[in-house]
């Protein structure tokens, strides 16, 4: 198992997905990643107003409510998102997780948002 994905690898992988843009609407300590203007991942850069008691590196990820529940039960490093709708978003403490697993969850979040785009827009994202 390959553990220890870092923040740069997460950003690089997420930006490698077709059509992804990034911005910082919530301040300098958070990068949001979007597809067609819709956020699917929110990466905490550390410190700032979004700091939490444990200060552990994390990102918030959008998944289906059922999938979030399953991952939270299965992995101690996945918990309800601190600043987001806890039904649809989970915080992922990525440093202790397998990097391929983390990438697969990022792709799953991306695919979930793409699937909800209007059909005419969505067809631009099919591989």
Render pLDDT for 67-94 as a digit per residue (tens, 0 to 9): 999 999 999 999 999 878 899 999 999 9
Q: Is 125 domain-assigned?
A: no
Q: Is 126 domain-assigned?
A: no
pLDDT at res. 84: 85
Query: What range does the domain containing 97 cover?
Result: 7-119
Residue labelled with tokens 């444990």: 54
Integer-rounded Cα radius of gyration of the chain: 14
What CATH number corresponds to the domain at position 28? 3.90.1150.30
Q: Is 1 domain-assigned?
A: no
pTM beyond cutoff 0.75: yes
Q: Is 101 domain-assigned?
A: yes
* Number of residues that make up the chain: 127
């Amino acid at each position: 198992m390959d553990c220890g994905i870092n923040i740069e690898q997460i950003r690089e992988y997420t930006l490698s997905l077709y059509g992804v843009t990034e911005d910082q609407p919530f301040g300098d300590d958070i990068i949001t990643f979007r597809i067609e203007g819709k956020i699917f991942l929110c990466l905490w850069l550390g410190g700032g107003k979004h700091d939490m008691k444990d200060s552990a590196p994390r990102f918030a990820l959008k998944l289906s409510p059922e999938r979030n529940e399953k991952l939270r039960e299965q992995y101690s490093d996945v918990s309800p998102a601190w600043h987001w709708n806890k039904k649809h978003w989970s915080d992922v403490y990525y440093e202790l997780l397998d990097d391929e697993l983390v990438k697969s969850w990022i792709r799953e979040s991306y695919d979930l948002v793409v699937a909800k785009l209007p059909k005419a827009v969505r067809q631009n994202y099919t591989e």
